C-alpha cells in the first residue's frame, strides 16, 4: 500500500483561556491518500476548522504529528492551498490580481505569473471576468476566484473551510458541481470542512464524523456511491439519515420502516 499523502498522528490542540486551558482536539488520527476527497462534519466547536489551520501551517502549537509526504508540515507552504467560507477578496484588486496573490512567493517571472492566473481563471470559468472587481461579481463567482487563488500555485492539497456556507441553496449546489469538475481537472487532494451532511456525501470519498468538546473522531464512513450522485436516490438518503443520526443521536442507527417491514406477513408482498 502506498504511503498516505497526509497523516495526522495523535494530534491534540489546547487553547489558553482565562483560568486555564480548553482542549479543542484530542488524539486525532487520520490518513489521506493522494487524490482522495475527505469531508469532515460535526457540530460547531468540534475542531473542524482548527484541523485545517494546523495542516495549512497557520497554527504551529499542537501535540502529535502532521505529516505531508512523510515530512512534518511546518509553516505555510505552496503544497497546501486554502479557501475560507468568506472569499476574502481584496475589493480594490481585480479578479486576476486577487488570484495572483496566491503566487506571492513564487519564483515565476511576471509573464509566467500572468499566464498561470489566466489559466486558473479559465479553469473556474471566469476567463471573461479577469478585470472585474469583487463588487461586480456574484457570491458564487467570488468563491470561484477564491478557489482559483487557492489552486494557482498548484498545491497538492486543497483545504476548504465551509466554502459555500454563505451562498443560497441553488448557487451552493451549482458550486458543488463546479468543485468536482475543477478538482478532476486539477488532480488535487481535497479536505473539506462542512456542517452540511448532504454536501459531504455528494462530494467526498470518505466522511469523518466528529464529536465535540473535545473534538475527536466518532466514525469514518466510506462513500461508495458512483458519481454523479443523486441527492434524491434511496441509497443517498439512507446514508444522509445515518450520518445525521451519528451527529445528533446516541445508540445504533435503525433505518426508518425496518421494524414495520419485518412485521408484515408474507402475503403483504404477494403480487
Ordered DSSP codes for 154-165: --SEEEEESTTT
Whether the pLDDT of residue 261 is over 60: the answer is no
- Domain containing residue 137: 34-61+74-262
* pLDDT in the model for residue 229: 93
Q: What ranges in 124-226 are assigned the alpha helix state H?
A: 139-151, 169-186, 197-203
The answer to whether residue 242 sits within a structural domain is yes
Kindly report, residue by residue over 29-68, the tens digit of the pLDDT: 999 999 999 999 998 888 999 999 999 998 989 999 999 9
Count of domains observed in the chain: 1
Residues making up the chain, counted from first to last = 271
Comparing CA positions, the residue from 224, 231, 232, 212 lying closest to residue 40 is 212
The answer to whether residue 234 sits within a structural domain is yes
Whether the pLDDT of residue 262 is over 80: the answer is no
DSSP SS3 for 65: strand
Kindly report, residue by residue over 121-166, the tens digit of the pLDDT: 998 889 999 999 999 999 889 999 999 999 988 899 999 999 888 8
The answer to whether residue 19 sits within a structural domain is no
CA dist., res. 82 & res. 161, Å (int): 8
Instruction: Grade residue 271 by pLDDT with cuts at 50, 70 and 90.
Output: very low
* pLDDT in the model for residue 45: 83
C-alpha cell at 258: 425496518
CA dist., res. 16 & res. 233, Å (int): 46
The answer to whether residue 271 sits within a structural domain is no
Comparing CA positions, the residue from 103, 91, 110 lying closest to residue 150 is 103
Secondary-structure percent of the chain, ordered helix, strand, coil, rounded to 5:
35, 25, 40
The answer to whether residue 11 sits within a structural domain is no
CATH number of the domain within which 101 lies? 3.40.50.300
Instruction: Grade residue 255 by pLDDT with cuts at 50, 70 and 90.
Output: low
Amino acid at each position: 500500500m502506498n504511503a498516505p499523502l497526509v497523516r495526522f498522528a495523535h494530534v491534540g490542540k489546547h487553547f489558553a483561556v482565562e483560568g486555564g486551558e480548553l482542549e479543542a482536539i484530542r488524539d486525532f488520527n487520520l490518513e489521506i491518500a493522494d487524490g482522495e476527497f475527505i469531508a469532515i462534519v460535526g457540530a460547531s466547536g468540534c475542531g473542524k476548522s482548527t484541523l485545517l489551520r494546523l495542516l495549512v501551517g497557520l497554527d504551529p502549537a499542537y501535540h502529535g504529528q502532521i505529516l505531508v509526504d512523510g515530512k512534518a508540515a511546518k509553516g505555510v507552504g505552496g503544497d497546501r492551498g486554502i479557501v475560507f467560507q468568506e472569499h476574502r477578496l481584496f475589493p480594490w484588486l481585480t479578479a486576476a490580481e486577487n488570484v495572483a496573490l496566491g503566487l506571492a512567493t513564487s519564483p515565476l517571472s511576471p509573464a509566467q505569473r500572468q499566464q498561470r492566473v489566466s489559466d486558473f481563471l479559465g479553469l473556474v470559468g471566469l476567463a471573461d471576468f479577469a478585470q472585474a472587481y469583487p463588487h461586480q461579481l456574484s457570491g458564487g463567482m467570488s468563491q470561484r476566484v477564491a478557489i482559483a487563488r487557492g489552486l494557482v500555485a498548484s498545491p497538492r492539497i486543497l483545504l476548504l473551510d465551509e466554502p459555500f456556507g454563505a451562498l443560497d441553496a441553488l448557487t451552493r449546489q451549482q458550486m458543488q458541481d463546479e468543485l468536482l469538475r475543477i478538482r478532476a481537472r486539477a488532480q488535487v487532494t481535497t479536505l473539506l470542512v462542512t456542517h452540511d451532511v448532504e454536501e459531504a456525501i455528494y462530494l467526498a470519498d470518505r466522511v469523518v464524523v466528529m464529536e465535540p468538546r473535545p473534538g475527536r473522531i466518532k466514525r469514518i464512513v466510506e462513500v461508495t456511491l458512483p458519481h454523479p450522485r443523486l441527492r434524491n436516490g434511496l441509497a443517498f438518503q439512507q446514508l444522509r439519515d445515518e450520518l445525521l443520526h451519528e451527529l445528533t443521536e446516541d445508540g445504533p442507527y435503525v433505518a426508518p420502516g425496518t421494524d414495520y417491514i419485518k412485521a408484515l406477513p408474507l402475503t403483504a408482498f404477494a403480487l
